[in-house]
Amino acid sequence: MEEELKAIADSDMDSMFVLPLSIIPLETPALQSAKLIKNVRLQSVIEIFSDEQTGSGQVDIESLPRMFNWSPDELHPDHAILRRLALLPSYDVYSLRISLREHGIPVNDYSALKLSPDKANELTKYMIMFTRPLMKLIYAEEAVNVESYDDLLHLFRDPDVKKARQRLEQMANSLNIDIWDVPRFLEDYGDTFLSLSYFRHCLDRLEPYFSACVDAMKPIRSHFQLRQDQGLMKTCDSIEDTINNMSASITGRLEVFEKRTREMWGNLNQEEFRQVKTLIERYHITIGAVLCGLTVKMNSFARTFPRPNSGGPVKRADFMASEMIQGIGQIRQAEKTFSVS
């Protein structure tokens, strides 16, 4: 791979590994403008500031009482909340919606837990893949222009083709709802399809990073001195196996979801919709945890080795042994919660 690798720089609400604390009701003013992030070792730390000149100012959560002069005799409310947040395996909005409620963690505004409009637009090509069977069902071979999910909903709110209106009525009958409720019904499930699109997008963009990272270990394995270090060789094997196995596992799970979605359009009823929605949401946290861990690892790799010739075998070996391997077990452990449906 010849092109330069760049760190993935999503906005906070679009990120797998960044939680802006502004959405959490904390008492300490300095924390309200901070972020909770996953570092390269997949530990949750408070990021007080970050820019290209000064770097990232990170604080361990257990250091906060001393930093803010909290009483040592009782647990500060902010400290209690942050400890619980630190245990969450991913900070993507779909995992957060489930995890925050499960752990009883308050949020200033739950409506803030959604992707940015820019990210939603970026996912349109994935959304079309999930909704194409629906378009075929309603509009058949009619020429329609759909560039976003909003365009799709508009077609259903105001169908201007006579045959399409008839098919839409048939669809409403199948769902046992009024024809005017179809757009609202689709909006309810549209966010579920958007979550699938988001996870597929996150996995797809990691592929060149996976290839670059695996390729970076070849000079380590062929180095006359490094290849004698059996511990290092096992570390490289573990990293490569994790990348390959986790990528294959998530790909397989997403393919199952996509297959069930196609089948759903062929057997259209409310119960089938509900089952597919429940199936997908059941794995939000697991998929988020694996993708979060892989994204953090690949980001760190891209910052350290942005080009194929960045660093020699020794520097790469040090990085693999000291940074990349840390927390790899957490990613593998998260993946074990997958099961065959």
What is the DSSP annotation of 176-229? TS-GGGHHHHHHHHHHHHHHHHHHHHHHHHHHHHHHHHHHHTHHHHH-TTGGG-
Decide if 152 contacts 194 (C-beta within 8 A).
no
Percent of the chain with pLDDT over 70: 91
Q: Rounded CA gap, 65 and 76, in Å?
A: 8
Query: Do residues 217 and 239 touch, judged by C-beta distance below 8 A?
Result: yes
Please say whether the beta carbons of 330 and 42 come within 8 A: yes
| pLDDT band with cut points at 50, 70 and 90 for residue 248 | very high
The reported pLDDT for the residue numbered 153 is: 65
Q: How confident is the model at residue 303 (pLDDT cuts 50, 70, 90)?
A: very high
In this structure, which amino acid lies at residue 308? Answer: P
Predicted local distance difference test score (pLDDT) of residue 91: 97
Q: What is the DSSP letter of 112?
A: G
Q: Which two tokens stand for residue 59?
A: 């604080």
Higher model confidence: residue 172 or residue 71?
Answer: 71
Predicted pLDDT of residue 129: 77
Helix (H) or strand (E) holding 46: strand 44-51
Q: Would you state the pLDDT for residue 341? A: 42
The confidence score (pLDDT) of residue 155 equals 66
Q: pTM of the predicted model, to two decimals?
A: 0.89
Q: Which of 103-117, 145-159, 283-297, 298-312 is predicted with the least confidence, judged by mean pLDDT?
A: 145-159
In the chain, the percentage of residues whose pLDDT exceeds 90 is 61
Confidence bin at 338 (pLDDT 50/70/90): low
pLDDT of 31 above 70: yes
Residue 62 above 60 pLDDT? yes
Mean pLDDT, to the nearest integer, of 276-293? 93
Q: What is the pLDDT of residue 115?
A: 94
The pLDDT-based confidence of 148 (bands split at 50, 70, 90) is low
Residue at 88: amino acid letter: L
Cα gap 94→139, rounded to integer Å = 31
231, exposed or middle or buried, with CB in 10 Å at 0-12, 13-18, 19+?
A: exposed
User: pLDDT tens digits, residue range 68-120?
Assistant: 999 989 999 999 999 999 999 999 999 999 999 999 999 998 888 999 989 98
Model confidence band, residue 189 (pLDDT cutoffs 50, 70, 90): confident
Please state, as a whole number, how many other Cβ atoms lie within 10 Å of the Cβ of residue 39.
18
Q: What is the mean pLDDT of residues 334-338?
A: 77
Q: Mean pLDDT, to the nearest integer, of 39-65?
A: 89
* Diameter over CA atoms, the chain: 74
Say if CB 268 and CB 176 are below 8 A apart: no
